[in-house]
Amino acid sequence: MELVVFILTALIALFGAGAMLISRNAVHSALFLLLNFGAIAVLYLLLQAPFLFVTQLIIYAGAIIVLFLFVVMLLGAERDDQETDRLAWQRPVALVMAGLLLAEVVYVFTSGVNIGAINAPAVADFASPEAVATALFTRYLFPFEVTSIILLAAVIGVVVLSRRATHDHAAVATQATDLTQLSERR
């Protein structure tokens, strides 16, 4: 049964990642990324890594998705499609997949699944906060710092783009006002 839970979670994660890449709407892409992050969190739970599970949910599925949606809304990248819903199948599929994901989480919490110990030797502090911090700030310090610089560059880019869009909008509004006053003077 544990293998079935793992396979279903992996399929949900792959579906979320693929749908995120092919979705034309930025908001839908962010929501598919949320589905992917949720499935990855369940995989951490299956590996008996509760700290990584909670961290994945709080930081990625919570904060990062909110940041992405804020940026999408700030830049106006969401398209308001006036046409009929071309992908009407997405809503029922999303509901079914969300139900499966919820059922898997409940199953893992209630049954005490231990997939990580099937073929691997047990490590007592595999995903403890101390082990994660030690690995992150010793062995993986350089990738951690590169990631922080990339995220900082993304935030600066958003600020520059939003200021440029605001400045361009103000310039167009000023020009339109000048043209209106010019026609009134004649």
Instruction: Assess if residue 134 is contained within a domain.
Output: no
The span from the CA of 63 to the CA of 58, in Å, is: 7
Which residues constitute the domain of residue 97? 2-127
**pLDDT band, residue 13 (cuts 50/70/90):** very high
pLDDT of res. 41: 92
The span from the CA of 18 to the CA of 14, in Å, is: 6
Instruction: Assess if residue 135 is contained within a domain.
Output: no
Q: Mean pLDDT, the chain, as a whole number?
A: 78
**pLDDT band, residue 108 (cuts 50/70/90):** confident
- pLDDT > 70 in the chain, percent: 74
Q: Which of 106, 127, 148 finishes a domain? A: 127
Segment among 3-7, 33-37, 124-128 with least mean pLDDT: 124-128
Q: Is the pLDDT of residue 118 over 70?
A: no
**pLDDT band, residue 140 (cuts 50/70/90):** confident
The span from the CA of 123 to the CA of 41, in Å, is: 20
- Cα torsion 28, 53, 64, 146 to 10°: value is -120
- Reading the block at residue 58, the tokens are 């709080």
Q: Which of 76, 96, 127 finishes a domain? A: 127
pLDDT of res. 42: 92
Which position has the higher pLDDT, 117 or 63? 63
The answer to whether residues 158 and 123 belong to one domain is no
The answer to whether residues 103 and 155 belong to one domain is no
pLDDT of res. 97: 84
Instruction: Express each pLDDT in 49-66 by its tens digit.
Output: 888 888 888 888 888 888
Domain count across the chain: 2
- Per-residue pLDDT averaged across 147-175, rounded? 73
* 75: CB partners within 8 A, 6+ apart: 158, 161, 162, 165
Give this prediction's pTM: 0.54
